[in-house]
Amino acid sequence: MRVATFNLHAGVDGWGRSTSVIEQTLELHAEVLILPELWRGASGYDLFDELRRRGNFEGVFAPLAEAERNTSGRKGRRWQPWLAHVNGERGLFFQEHRTLSKAQARTRARATHLEQGQWGLGILTTLPIDETKVISLGRLDRERVNRALVLARLRGPTGPFWVAAVHGAHLSHGSRHQYRRVNRELAALSPTLPILLGGDFNAWRPVLRVILPGWRSLVRAKTWPAHHPHSQIDHLFVRGPWHLDGGFSVRGGSDHRALVADVTLP
């Protein structure tokens, strides 16, 4: 069974240019996908539905923010502007809880293709789904978006197991408090069922080992930034008798690399 996590960045880069994340996600050939930064546009561009239809998936989507998606971008050799982490990117605009930077406001005013929609976190799978849950983790003061723990109980080739998806805030914003909540929620699930916990944690493994004790990391591979990765901030963790048959990270159009694991359960 192949499992993967891939931050899709809503199918745009940091300049507001469309990317090939749909095709790249389908080429992973995964039975279970954990997908941070999915996009469901109000006027038709729906990453969740497109992947579900083309890949014969079913799943669950948790909307975490109302946003605008810009596909008017043209320039830039890099994936995003040099100062995007200071002045903000140009592909996605979040205004529910914080105002745009001056650079973002200028880009938005010039944009010719802006779409309203929902930005969020999802799980897609080709396996039968017995149950899904979305547990709100709230919004931290410095955050533009809400956070959630998304759960799906699946029927695998050898029995049921849980998949848990997260897209964590940055450590500097206080994500450790949310991860402790995640640990408590997962500890309350049936102790007899294996669990796969994955997503974009925005944190390194040594830190998560302290915040999330008792989890085993499946794959060690750098995932960010995609063009020349120096860090692994996307992870696949497990509890239970999971056996790793192989794993890797691969570039796929986003600013994160996809993290993939081939696993078996007895």
Measured over the CA atoms of residue 190, residue 217, residue 39 and residue 82, the dihedral's sign is: positive
Residue 29 neighbours by CB distance under 10 Å: 11
* Phi and psi at residue 128, to the nearest 5°: -65, 140
Whether the per-residue pLDDT at 83 is higher than 80: the answer is: no
- Helix%, strand%, coil% for the chain, nearest 5: 20, 40, 40
Task: Indicate the domain borders of the chain.
Answer: 2-65+120-264
Q: What is the per-residue pLDDT for 122? A: 99
pLDDT in tens, 142-196: 999 999 999 999 999 999 999 999 999 999 999 999 999 999 999 999 999 999 9
Q: For domain 2-65+120-264, give the CATH number.
A: 3.60.10.10
Rounded Cα gap, residues 219 and 109, in angstroms: 43
Total-model pTM? 0.97
Three-state DSSP at 256 gives coil
- For position 66, what pLDDT does the model report? 98
Per-residue pLDDT tens digits for 229-243: 999 999 999 999 999
The 10s digit of each residue's pLDDT in 2-55 is 999 999 999 999 999 999 999 999 999 999 999 999 999 998 899 999 999 999
pLDDT(88) > 90: no
